[in-house]
Amino acid sequence: MRGSADVDLAGDEAVPTATADSTLAEIAQILGGREKLGALFGENSLFQDPEMQKIGEQIPVGRFAGLAGVSREQLQDFLDAVNAC
């Protein structure tokens, strides 16, 4: 005889962590991530075009260091801020 059951355990929910390997789409799903992405890239024309946004969502955020006006230090500060939420 076989059986199955669902079990709910009390505890904290898993919280995703933003890293340089996280895509823009993954970071946007983290609480506060979308707003911080907007602050990081600001009015960058690259992200004003809907087609470029679609493409950019699949790129790891670390690839933007040195591009799009974002320094490595700014990127690390951004990741730290997202993970602090």
pLDDT band at 45 (very low <50, low <70, confident <90, very high): low
Q: What is the pLDDT of residues 32-42, one digit of tens each?
A: 998 998 888 87
DSSP E strands in 25-75: the ranges are: none
Q: Are 20 and 75 in contact (CB under 8 A)?
A: yes
Continuous segment of H or E residues that includes residue 29: none
Mean pLDDT, the chain, as a whole number? 85
Going by C-beta distance under 8 Å and a sequence separation of 6 or more, which residues neighbour residue 64? 70, 75
Flag whether 11 is in a domain. no
Flag whether 62 is in a domain. yes
Going by C-beta distance under 8 Å and a sequence separation of 6 or more, which residues neighbour residue 72? 65, 66
Give me the domain span that covers residue 63: 24-84
Flag whether 49 is in a domain. yes
For residue 46, the model assigns a pLDDT of 63
